[in-house]
Amino acid sequence: MPIYNAPEKDFQFILHEVLKVAEQPIPGYDDIDADFTAAVFGEAGKIASDVLTPLNVVGDKQGCVLENGVVRTPDGFQEAFDQIRDGGWTGLDMPEQYGGQNMPYIMGIALSEIFSSANQSFAMYQGLTHGAASAILVHGTDQQKDTYLPKMVSCEWTGTMNLTEPHCGTDLGLMRTKAEPQDDGSFSVTGQKIFISSGEHDLADNIIHLVLAKILGGPEGIKGVSLFIVPKFLVNEDGSFGDRNGVTCGSIEEKMGIHGNSTCVMNYDGAKGWLLGEEHKGMRAMFTMMNEARIGVGVQGLGQAEAAYQNAVVYAKDRLQGRAVTGAENPDGPADPLIVHPDIRRNLLEQKSFTEGARAFTLWAAELIDRSHRADDEAAEGLVSLLTPVVKGFLTDQGYNATVQAQQVYGGHGYIEEWGMSQFTRDARIAMIYEGANGVQALDLVGRKLAQDGGKHVMAFFDLVKTFLKDNADNEALQAGYLEPLKAASKDLQTAGMYFMQHGVKNPNAALSGSYDFMHLFGHVCLGLMWARMAKAADTALKAGTGDPDFYQAKLDTGRFYMARQLPATGMHLARIQTGADPVMTLDAAQF
């Protein structure tokens, strides 16, 4: 059975030596020192390894079952969910007023990587609830917050997000679900939503659906979409349950992965709902939590890559095949372990340099969210808004690729279910699709975010890179291995941005034909920047003689691998972008 151990040391390194969260505390939470975070990661790591990891395979094999309108989750999920709830793990970064612990979001993101690595399907029940609770927190009335948040923060009740309909996923302006105003101030919601994660299940007493629908008589298209709270069981003023609401699960989907999470067709038949936020501003309300939700999905890509990588390393050290070309390294055995072979090492290093870089990137993005929410830091808000599609699109694509590479280390055994490697690949695949398919993330990045506020956020990113390069120009440990490649990659990104400015206005197809490459180009530069920052921290620790020199030396060497072998991909992406629209747009539809 696959193993998983939370990379606690890596989290500690990034939080305390790279981002230095204790030295520049996140407003509203000063006690985030290394002992405290180590204790949290230690406990979370135990639950992940001992409880959630063994259930991952159970969930994959059993899946969810719909019986008499109720979805039964796999054996053991209920007990594990109780344990997560009782341990207070569900509302760590939620306000104390509603039963949370008010920890920074950066801690929430670190824990969501751990739980997601161990069992993505399971973690989604809580993840969706967190997203729905965040929307109520920002847009709800006091009464709505008091009614729903304490139960959702504790996960006694769970939450869902209902956007997708059979004929529309990306283009939500086509939505047909209707909301009819009622005399008591509520709305009657009717329509069908599909692919709703955690839509129905047996883990919680109530499920609070957030549903996008169009109010009758409102504007056409996306401008007429509003957001509603539609509970499975109505809640009386004293908090007791009222009637069962008019929402049912019609069926659950059979799918490629995340079998332990129920993906439901939800039928709303005159269900009672209450407006969340303003009329016709539903997309705005949804977008409030989009940054968080998309970073959360990026973390899923990273999470599956990390779990798959850990298993591939164990296998590569254990499996004996062939001899090292430079002479036997296991002369007493029949063959050498796979890890002696350069191509296996290349494969493992591609995974390792991705996961460690991606972890730093997601934690940095989470820190920006904390600063924007808790310190009203507009620059942080602008930057994280720009980077969000990169976190989502780049990390889920690369995370999926990493799971395939981990499978490859196993040869044929990676393809056989017994070893559990194909589950990582199957589970990772969905992250490239939901929460806005990755092609749409690229569209958002190039079509919207680049030029947002006059392009000042992308300029702020370039300034950040430039400042890092300048401040560390005299650091010999960084010069050739880190600073030069980062400078070259950042130049590629700027040149691509200029290309879009010069050609994209005249011919938008010239920009959008290169949008996917741009998202990946940007992702590589972000990981390059994170590796340079990590290298600086590792070099500082090595020179000071603090901590574990092996850990820091491995960081420096892994980072150099990324800079030398992965970062040059920016040149290829730039070359593709500069070919413009022609190669992509020439064929007629009939010629495909």
Give the nearer residue to ligand FAD in terms of CB position, either 127 or 224.
127
User: What is the SS3 string spanning 171-230?
Assistant: CHHHCCCEEEECCCCCEEEEEEEEEEECCCCCCCCEEEEEEEEEECCCCCHHHHEEEEEE
Give the nearer residue to ligand FAD in terms of CB position, either 100 or 260.
260
Stretch that binds ligand FAD, among 14-22, 159-167, 341-349, 539-547 (CB under 6 A): 159-167
Q: How far apart are alpha carbons 1 and 3 in whole angstroms?
A: 7
Residue spans of beta strands (DSSP E) within 25-156: 65-67, 70-72
Give the nearer residue to ligand FAD in terms of CB position, either 166 or 322.
166
169 binds ligand FAD (CB under 6 A): yes
Q: How far apart are alpha carbons 521 and 371 in whole angstroms?
A: 26
Phi, psi of 341 (to 5 degrees): -80, 130
Stretch that binds ligand FAD, among 41-49, 192-200, 359-367, 542-550 (CB under 6 A): 192-200
Q: Is 113 a catalytic residue?
A: no
312 binds ligand FAD (CB under 6 A): no
508 binds ligand FAD (CB under 6 A): no
Phi, psi of 518 (to 5 degrees): -65, -40
439 binds ligand FAD (CB under 6 A): yes
- 54: tokens are 């063994």
Which long-range contacts does 414-420 make (Cβ < 8 Å, 24+ apart)? 419/2, 420/1, 420/2, 420/56, 420/57, 420/311
Give the nearer residue to ligand FAD in terms of CB position, either 351 or 423.
423
Stretch that binds ligand FAD, among 19-27, 427-435, 459-467, 566-574 (CB under 6 A): 427-435
383 binds ligand FAD (CB under 6 A): no
Size of site (CB under 6 A) for ligand FAD: 19
**Which residues ranging from 237 to 256 are in contact with ligand FAD (CB under 6 A)?**
255
- 483: tokens are 């600073």
222 binds ligand FAD (CB under 6 A): no
Phi, psi of 4 (to 5 degrees): -155, 130
195 binds ligand FAD (CB under 6 A): yes
- 408: tokens are 């490859």
263 binds ligand FAD (CB under 6 A): yes
Residue choice 84, 440, 450, 527 for contact with ligand FAD (CB under 6 A): 440
490 binds ligand FAD (CB under 6 A): no
Stretch that binds ligand FAD, among 7-15, 63-71, 84-92, 190-198 (CB under 6 A): 190-198
> Residue type for 584, please?
V
Q: CB of 163: closest distance to ligand FAD in angstroms?
A: 3
User: Please, what's the b/e burial string for 31-68 (b: 16 or more CB within 10 A of its CB; e: otherwise)?
Assistant: ebeeeebbebbeebbebbbebbbbbbbbbbebbbebee
162 binds ligand FAD (CB under 6 A): yes
Q: Which H or E run includes 242?
A: strand 241-244
Give the nearer residue to ligand FAD in terms of CB position, either 124 or 380.
124
446 binds ligand FAD (CB under 6 A): no
Residue choice 433, 564, 581, 584 for contact with ligand FAD (CB under 6 A): 433
Rounded (5°) CA angle 564-429-80: 110
Contacts of 265 (CB under 8 A, 6+ apart): 192, 193, 194, 195, 196, 199, 249, 250, 251, 252, 253
> Residue type for 434, please?
Y
End-to-end CA distance of the chain: 44
Q: CB of 25: closest distance to ligand FAD in angstroms?
A: 34
Give the nearer residue to ligand FAD in terms of CB position, either 263 or 355.
263
Cα 171 to chain center, whole Å?
22
Give the nearer residue to ligand FAD in terms of CB position, either 390 or 440.
440
Choose the catalytic residue: 43, 378, 435, 476: 435
Residue choice 84, 92, 136, 163 for contact with ligand FAD (CB under 6 A): 163
Which residue(s) pair with 244 in the sheet?
A: 233
Q: CB of 136: closest distance to ligand FAD in angstroms?
A: 16
Which residues contribute to the site for ligand FAD (CB under 6 A)? 161-164, 169-170, 195-197, 255, 263, 430, 433-434, 436-437, 439-440, 443
Just list the catalytic residues.
435
